[in-house]
C-alpha cells in the first residue's frame, strides 16, 4: 500500500519522550520538560478555536533504583549552570540552599562586582607556611550544597506521575520509521518516540548505541590516574582543629600529585572533604587495579599514608576523617557521536569528566536545558525529532568535550604538574582564564543556535 497523501494522514499524537536515569541530569531534564509542558498547555487556543491545545509531548522518567538517591557528599553548581537553574525558575531556591551553607568568615558573599569567593588556594605541603597564595572569585558566589538537597529540590518540581522506579533498561530496538521499544530487567516493555540516556558514566544506552554500530571500544570509560577519598566531617570538629578562617573558607590545598579540597555543606553542619591522590608516571589512561571504582568504609590509615608529609593544617583536617569512601576518577573519552537517530545521550552518559573544575553535573544541566527546549519546539514531531537531537549534538558536543579535556588539565594544574608548575602568577592566570570561559557561556545563545539548526534542517 502506498503512502497516504499528507491531507489524509492522521495527525501525529504527542511526542512520547523516555528519559533513562534519575540522577541530577535526568531530573533536571524532567523538570525542564514539565516546565515547557506547563507553558504550552497554558497557551491560549488559536483565535476562533475553542479546542483545547493538545499536550505537545508526554514524558516518562525510568529509574533503575527503587527511589531517587544521591551519595552523601557535596556538590558545587558553577555559574554557567546557575544561569540555567535561574532560567528554569529554581535558581532562587538553589541559591538560598547554598547561601545557607556559608559560615561566618567564609567570604562567599557576593560583592558589588557581582562576585564572591570561589576558592582560596594554599600549598598543601607547607610551602609559604600554608598561607593563601591566590584567592579566586566567581560570579554569583560559591554555590555548594549537599547532593541530597539538590536532588530534593529538583524532585519537588517533577510530577510524580511521570516517574517509574525499578525500571532498569537492558535493551532497546526500533523498526525503521517506527517507535522505539524499551525493554527492562523486570520483563516489561514500553514504547516511545525518543529515548534519552541520562544513565550515568556506566550508561547502558551508550553501550547499546555504540555496540549497534560496532564501536563499543570507542566508549569505554578510562581511569585518569587519580583517586579521591571523600567524607563529611562535622563542622564543630574542624573548627576545634583548625579555627574559623580555614573551616569557613572553601579551600584547596595543593601539593605535587595531590590536592585536598574542603567546603561547608548541609546548612553549614558539615565540611565536605575530598582528598585527591594521583600517579602521573603511567601516562593518561593507566589501568585501575580493582574491580570496583568506588570502595566504601576504607581504613583512614590509608588516607594518612597517602598524605604523609602534608602541611599541619591539612593533616589536622584529614585526621578527623573516619572510614572514608575512595573513588577512582574515570572519564568518558571524546565520543564521536551523542546521537543516533531518535536516541541521545546526556550528562555523564555522554561526557563524564574528572571533577577538577566542579562542572560535570553543571554540564549535564546545560544539556538538559537545551534538550528540553528543542523537544518542546512546536514543529517537533516523531518523524523529525532526530533533527532536533542532531541540533543538540551540534551545539553541545564540542563545548562539553573541551571542558572535559580541560578538567583533566586542571587536575594537573591543581597538583602542580602542569606547565605553570608552582609559579603563582601563571597558575592564577591559567585558572582564571579557564574558569571564566566555562562560566561565561551565554545559555540563551546556545538555545537560539540549536533552534536555528533545527529549523534550518526542516527547510
Nearer to ligand FAD, 124 or 364 (CB): 364
Q: Quick check: 191 and 179 in contact, CB under 8 A? A: yes
* Residues in 249-288 that interact with ligand FAD by CB under 6 A: 274
The answer to whether 56 contacts ligand FAD (rule: CB under 6 A) is no
- CA 143 – CA 97 distance, rounded (Å): 9
Residue 232, beta-bridge partner list? 272
Provide the CB-side half-sphere exposure for 357 (13 A, CA). Answer: 31
User: Which residue among 142, 235, 248, 362 contacts ligand FAD (CB under 6 A)?
Assistant: 362
| Residue 403 within binding range of ligand FAD, rule CB under 6 A | no
What are the backbone dihedrals phi and psi of residue 85, each rounded to the nearest 5 degrees, phi first?
A: -60, -35
The torsion defined by the Cα of 211, 213, 217 and 220, in degrees rounded to 10, comes to: -60
In the block, residue with C-alpha cell 518540581: 157
- CB neighbour list of residue 442: distance below 8 Å, 6 or more residues apart: none
* Position 359 contacts ligand FAD (CB under 6 A): yes
Identify which of residues 109 and 170 has a Cβ nearer to ligand FAD in the complex. 170
SS3 320: coil
Q: Is 225 in the site for ligand FAD (CB under 6 A)?
A: no
Residue 199: CB minimum distance to ligand FAD, A = 4
The DSSP annotation for 234-262 comes to EHHHHHHHH-HHHHHS-EEEEETTEEEEE
User: Are the C-beta atoms of residues 33 and 370 closer than 8 Å to each other?
Assistant: no
Q: Which residue in the set 17, 18, 21, 180 belongs to the binding site for ligand FAD (CB under 6 A)?
A: 21
The secondary structure element, H or E, covering residue 453 is helix 443-458
Residue of 23, 91, 141, 225 that binds ligand FAD (CB under 6 A) = 23
Is residue 20 within the footprint of ligand FAD (CB under 6 A)? yes
Residue nearest to ligand FAD (CB): 23
> Is the CB of residue 260 less than 8 Å from the CB of residue 252?
yes
Task: State which H helix or E strand residue 410 sits in.
Answer: helix 385-414
The CA distances from residue 119 to 44, 222, 414, in Å, are: 48, 28, 12
> Per residue, what are the HEC states of 75-142?
EECCHHHHHHHHHCCCHHHHHHHHHCCCCCCCCCCCCCCCEEEEEEEEECCCHHHHCEEEEEEEECCC
- Part in contact with ligand FAD (CB under 6 A); list of ranges 14-22, 118-126, 249-257, 394-402: 14-22
Contact 168, 185 (CB under 8 A): yes
Q: How far is the CB of 184 from ligand FAD (least distance, A)?
A: 7
140 binds ligand FAD (CB under 6 A): no
- Nearest to 229, CA basis, from 353, 319, 150, 362: 319
Q: Does 348 bind ligand FAD (CB under 6 A)?
A: yes
Which CB atom, from 151 or from 380, has the smaller least distance to ligand FAD? 151
Shortest gap between Cβ of 454 and ligand FAD (angstroms)? 23
When asked if residue 62 is in the footprint of ligand FAD (CB under 6 A), the reply is yes
Residues 74-93 binding ligand FAD (CB under 6 A) are 75-76
Q: Does 400 bind ligand FAD (CB under 6 A)?
A: no
The one among 56, 200, 250, 382 contacting ligand FAD by CB under 6 A? 200
Shortest separation between residue 140's beta carbon and ligand FAD, angstroms:
14
Closest approach of Cβ 421 to ligand FAD, in Å? Answer: 25
Q: Strands 115-123, 251-255: parallel, antiparallel or unpaired by DSSP?
A: parallel
Kindly state the smallest distance separating residue 145's Cβ from ligand FAD, in Å: 10
CB of 130 to ligand FAD, least distance (A): 24
Nearest distance, CB of residue 324 and ligand FAD, angstroms? 11
User: Taking CB under 6 A as the rule, does residue 103 contact ligand FAD?
Assistant: no
Contacts (Cβ under 8 Å, ≥6 apart) of 197: 20, 21, 203, 204, 205, 206, 209, 343, 344, 345, 346, 349, 350
- Whichever of 226 and 235 has its CB closer to ligand FAD, that residue is 226
347 binds ligand FAD (CB under 6 A): yes
Position 327 contacts ligand FAD (CB under 6 A): yes
Q: Which helix (H) or strand (E) holds 173?
A: strand 169-174
Q: Which stretch binds ligand FAD (CB under 6 A): 58-66, 231-239, 297-305, 393-401?
A: 58-66
Residues that bind ligand FAD (CB under 6 A): 20-26, 62-65, 75-76, 167-169, 198-200, 204, 228, 230, 274, 327, 347-348, 355, 358-362, 364
Amino acid at each position: 500500500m502506498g503512502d497516504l497523501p499528507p491531507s489524509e494522514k492522521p495527525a501525529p499524537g504527542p511526542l512520547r519522550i523516555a528519559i533513562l536515569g534519575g540522577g541530577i541530569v535526568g531530573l533536571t531534564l524532567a523538570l525542564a520538560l514539565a516546565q515547557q509542558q506547563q507553558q504550552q498547555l497554558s497557551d491560549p487556543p488559536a483565535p476562533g478555536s475553542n479546542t483545547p491545545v493538545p499536550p505537545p509531548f508526554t514524558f516518562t522518567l525510568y529509574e533503575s533504583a527503587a527511589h531517587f538517591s544521591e551519595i552523601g557528599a557535596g556538590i558545587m553548581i558553577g555559574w554557567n549552570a546557575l544561569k540555567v537553574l535561574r532560567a528554569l525558575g529554581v535558581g532562587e531556591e538553589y541559591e538560598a540552599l547554598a547561601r545557607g551553607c556559608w559560615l561566618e568568615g567564609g567570604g562567599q558573599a557576593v560583592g558589588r562586582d557581582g562576585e564572591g569567593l570561589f576558592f582560596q588556594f594554599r600549598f598543601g605541603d607547607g610551602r609559604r607556611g600554608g598561607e593563601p597564595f591566590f584567592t579566586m572569585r566567581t560570579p554569583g558566589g560559591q554555590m555548594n550544597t549537599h547532593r541530597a538537597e539538590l536532588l530534593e529540590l529538583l524532585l519537588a518540581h517533577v510530577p510524580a506521575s511521570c516517574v517509574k522506579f525499578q525500571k532498569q533498561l537492558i535493551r532497546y530496538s526500533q523498526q525503521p520509521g517506527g517507535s522505539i521499544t524499551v525493554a527492562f530487567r523486570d520483563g516489561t516493555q514500553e514504547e516511545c518516540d525518543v529515548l534519552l540516556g541520562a544513565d550515568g558514566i556506566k550508561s547502558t544506552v551508550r553501550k547499546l548505541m555504540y555496540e549497534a554500530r560496532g564501536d563499543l571500544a570507542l566508549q569505554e570509560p578510562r581511569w585518569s590516574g587519580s583517586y579521591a577519598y571523600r567524607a563529611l566531617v562535622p563542622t564543630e570538629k574542624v573548627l576545634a582543629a583548625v579555627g574559623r578562617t580555614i573551616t569557613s573558607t572553601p579551600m584547596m590545598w595543593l601539593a605535587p600529585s595531590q590536592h585536598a579540597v574542603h567546603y561547608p555543606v548541609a546548612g553549614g553542619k558539615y565540611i565536605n572533604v575530598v582528598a585527591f591522590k594521583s600517579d602521573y608516571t603511567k601516562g593518561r589512561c593507566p589501568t585501575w587495579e580493582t574491580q570496583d571504582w568506588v570502595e566504601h568504609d576504607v581504613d583512614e590509615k590509608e588516607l594518612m599514608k597517602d598524605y604523609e608529609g602534608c602541611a599541619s593544617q591539612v593533616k589536622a583536617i584529614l585526621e578527623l576523617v573516619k572510614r572514608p569512601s575512595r573513588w577512582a576518577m574515570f572519564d568518558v573519552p571524546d565520543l564521536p557521536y551523542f546521537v543516533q537517530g531518535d536516541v541521545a545521550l546526556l550528562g555523564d552518559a555522554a561526557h563524564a569528566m574528572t571533577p577538577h573544575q566542579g562542572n560535570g553535573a553543571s554540564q549535564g544541566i546545560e544539556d538538559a536545558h537545551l534538550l528540553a527546549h528543542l523537544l518542546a519546539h512546536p514543529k517537533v514531531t516523531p518523524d523529525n525529532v532526530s533533527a532536533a537531537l542532531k541540533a543538540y549534538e551540534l551545539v553541545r558536543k564540542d563545548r562539553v568535550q573541551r571542558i572535559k579535556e580541560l578538567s583533566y588539565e586542571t587536575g594537573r594544574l591543581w597538583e602542580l604538574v602542569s606547565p605553570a608548575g608552582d609559579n603563582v602568577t601563571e597558575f592564577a592566570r591559567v585558572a582564571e582564564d579557564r574558569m571564566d570561559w566555562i562560566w561565561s557561556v551565554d545559555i540563551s545563545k546556545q538555545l537560539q543556535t540549536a533552534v536555528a539548526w533545527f529549523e534550518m534542517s526542516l527547510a
